[in-house]
């Protein structure tokens, strides 16, 4: 049954991808990209990658779609006519596709218990997670502790991406004109979105907080929680207008969340060094090494959530402000 459903999802993914490439309407392309992300999230879920599925649904189908829609306000509705022949593009894509397919022949079968990764590193992670941290979610243990350096790098990538977008688009506040007021009223005059949205926003934020603080025991963590909470705030901005959202959480606070989240993560590592351990060795944070690991994971996940939420909202407001000023 899972095989049939997976084959069905693969068929839909191929159809959606072809439709994205062929359409010249940018709005349609954005909507199809959102559908593609939802299908990928479902595919990750049936592969038992619940954490990745949650991230793909929140970021790919949620926040990214809204940011794309804001970016469309700065462009034309249709794709510009292509110059020259398409055969070079099609040939390049075809050759790369064949090479990728050929490379998969040497890969172990999906879920093969005799695959190298299942014979060496995966059993070690499963065994040591219980011994070192005593938390059920092995994914959180790997990302936050065993491979904490990787996650720290990802946080600074998010920080750099946010700063780069703000430098390119500018962060100056919108002018308070009559036109600006009219364009920032959101969906205030649409009754059904207002009622449904106002009911959903508290539950979205509450679910984000649940994902944040329950990431040690189930799918979730700081990245997913930051994206979900940002989705709730963006929905508020769409309903009430960007100016109201900025009044609730000003740009300065958003930038402080991005910088503070990255610094909080790094500060935990520095604190570990001052307490006699290695960088990001959380076991020295408490007299009980297991509790120290749990405490360190909780703190750095909070930093990840702050950075991701602040970055996504700052990027959204940067695009939305350009729409207002245009």
Residue recorded with tokens 């993914």: 13
How far apart are alpha carbons 275 and 281 in whole angstroms? 10
* Contact residues for 266 (Cβ-Cβ < 8 A; gap 6+): 152
Q: Are 32 and 20 in contact (CB under 8 A)?
A: yes
Per-residue confidence (pLDDT) for residue 68, from 0 to 100 = 84
Q: Are 166 and 318 in contact (CB under 8 A)?
A: yes
**Top mean-pLDDT range of 114-118, 125-129, 310-314:** 310-314
Share of the chain above pLDDT 90, in %: 38
| DSSP 8-state assignment for residue 76 | -
| pLDDT tens sequence across 231-264 | 899 888 888 888 888 888 998 999 999 999 999 9
- Asked whether residue 188 carries a pLDDT value surpassing 80, the answer given is no
* Contact residues for 197 (Cβ-Cβ < 8 A; gap 6+): 187, 235, 236, 238, 239
Intra-chain end-to-end CA distance of the chain, in Å: 51
């Amino acid at each position: 049954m899972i095989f049939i459903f997976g084959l069905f999802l693969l068929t839909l993914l191929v159809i959606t991808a072809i439709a994205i490439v062929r359409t010249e309407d940018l709005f349609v392309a954005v909507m199809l990209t959102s559908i593609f992300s939802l299908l990928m999230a479902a595919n990750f879920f049936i592969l038992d990658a619940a954490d990745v599925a949650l991230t793909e649904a929140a970021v790919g189908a949620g926040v990214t779609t809204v940011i794309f829609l804001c970016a469309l306000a700065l462009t034309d509705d249709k794709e510009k006519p292509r110059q020259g022949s398409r055969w070079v593009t099609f040939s390049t894509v075809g050759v790369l596709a064949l090479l990728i397919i050929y490379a998969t022949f040497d890969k172990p079968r999906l879920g093969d218990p005799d695959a190298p990764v299942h014979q060496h590193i995966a059993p070690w992670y499963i065994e040591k997670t219980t011994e070192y941290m005593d938390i059920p979610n092995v994914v959180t243990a790997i990302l936050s502790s065993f491979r904490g350096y990787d996650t720290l790098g990802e946080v600074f990538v998010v920080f750099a991406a946010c700063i780069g977008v703000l430098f390119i688009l500018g962060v100056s506040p919108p002018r308070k004109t009559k036109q600006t007021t009219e364009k920032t009223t959101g969906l205030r005059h649409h009754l059904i979105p207002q009622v449904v949205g106002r009911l959903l926003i508290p539950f979205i934020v509450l679910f984000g907080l649940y994902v944040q603080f329950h990431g040690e025991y189930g799918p979730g963590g700081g990245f997913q929680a930051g994206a979900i909470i940002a989705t709730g705030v963006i929905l508020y901005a769409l309903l009430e207008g960007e100016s109201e959202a900025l009044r609730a959480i000003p740009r300065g606070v958003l930038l402080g969340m991005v910088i503070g989240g990255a610094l909080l993560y790094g500060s935990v590592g520095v604190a570990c060094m001052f307490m006699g351990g290695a960088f990001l060795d959380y076991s020295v944070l408490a007299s009980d090494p297991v509790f120290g690991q749990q405490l360190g994971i909780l703190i750095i996940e909070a930093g990840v959530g702050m950075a991701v939420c602040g970055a996504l909202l700052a990027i959204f407001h940067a695009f939305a402000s350009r729409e207002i000023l245009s």
